[in-house]
């Protein structure tokens, strides 16, 4: 090996040795960033109260006793058509999974909406790294058109604002779901635009985006 070959080999090794730790550090930094974001979301989630009471409703954690009503109300084509993540048909297994697993995830804070102690729907926040908490909800069809969605949303938003950690809240709804869009607007959200859905049950359909900024 002549001097030029030796120089080239040394340079190649130096570059390799330099790149490996940088790549490792970048990967480690990314993991730490993700972990920190999840921890922050968990803290924000856990600052919410366990129970929220409004004039007619009580919002509390889903329990196994909700499974029968949850299955009955969620197994509705009209509700499935409006929600991005709801399976259909909605079975007992789906209800048990929601109560025992999904609602316990760090990136979710789910409340069962109850009227006279009976389960009638779900109100929740979803937490994604780099995004404001996102409000989501659904109510069983027998409870539509009575102002209960707006009342539940206002109750959760008020509780969230009281923590001082929810300066911005986001929400989305099918642009064609006029009733849901009105609920969000009545709760103080401002419509910011539309975009086609790229995943979930509504691929290609127009999704309306909303944002709510806490007044200071």
Q: Break the chain into its structural domains and give their ranges.
A: 47-213
Assessment of whether the complete model's pTM goes beyond 0.75 = yes
What span, in angstroms and rounded, lies between the C-alpha atoms of 151 and 143? 12
One digit per residue, the tens of pLDDT, for the chain of length 216 reads: 555 555 555 455 444 445 556 666 666 655 555 555 555 667 899 999 999 999 999 999 999 999 999 999 999 999 999 998 899 999 999 999 999 999 999 999 999 999 999 999 999 999 999 899 999 999 999 999 999 999 999 999 999 999 999 999 999 999 999 999 999 999 999 999 999 988 777 888 999 999 999 987
Q: Are 42 and 106 in contact (CB under 8 A)?
A: yes
What span, in angstroms and rounded, lies between the C-alpha atoms of 164 and 158? 10
Domain 47-213 sits in CATH 3.40.630.30:
yes
């Amino acid at each position: 090996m002549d001097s030029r070959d030796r120089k080239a080999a040394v340079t190649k090794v130096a570059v390799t040795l330099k790149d490996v730790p940088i790549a490792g550090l970048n990967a480690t930094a990314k993991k730490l960033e993700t972990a920190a974001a999840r921890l922050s979301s968990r803290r924000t989630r856990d600052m919410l109260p366990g129970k929220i009471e409004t004039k007619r409703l009580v919002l509390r954690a889903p329990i196994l006793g909700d499974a029968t009503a949850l299955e009955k109300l969620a197994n509705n084509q009209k509700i499935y058509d409006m929600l991005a993540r709801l399976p259909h048909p909605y079975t007992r297994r789906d209800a048990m999974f929601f109560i025992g697993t999904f609602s316990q995830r760090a990136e979710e804070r789910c409340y069962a909406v109850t009227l006279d102690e009976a389960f009638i729907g779900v109100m929740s926040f979803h937490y994604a790294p780099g995004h404001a908490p996102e409000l989501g909800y659904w109510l069983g069809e027998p409870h539509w058109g009575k102002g209960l969605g707006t009342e539940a949303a206002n109750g959760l938003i008020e509780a969230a604002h009281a923590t001082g950690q929810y300066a911005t809240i986001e929400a989305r709804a099918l642009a064609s779901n006029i009733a849901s869009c009105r609920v969000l607007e009545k709760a103080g959200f401002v419509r910011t635009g539309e975009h086609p859905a790229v995943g979930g049950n509504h691929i290609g359909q127009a999704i309306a985006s909303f944002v709510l900024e806490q007044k200071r």
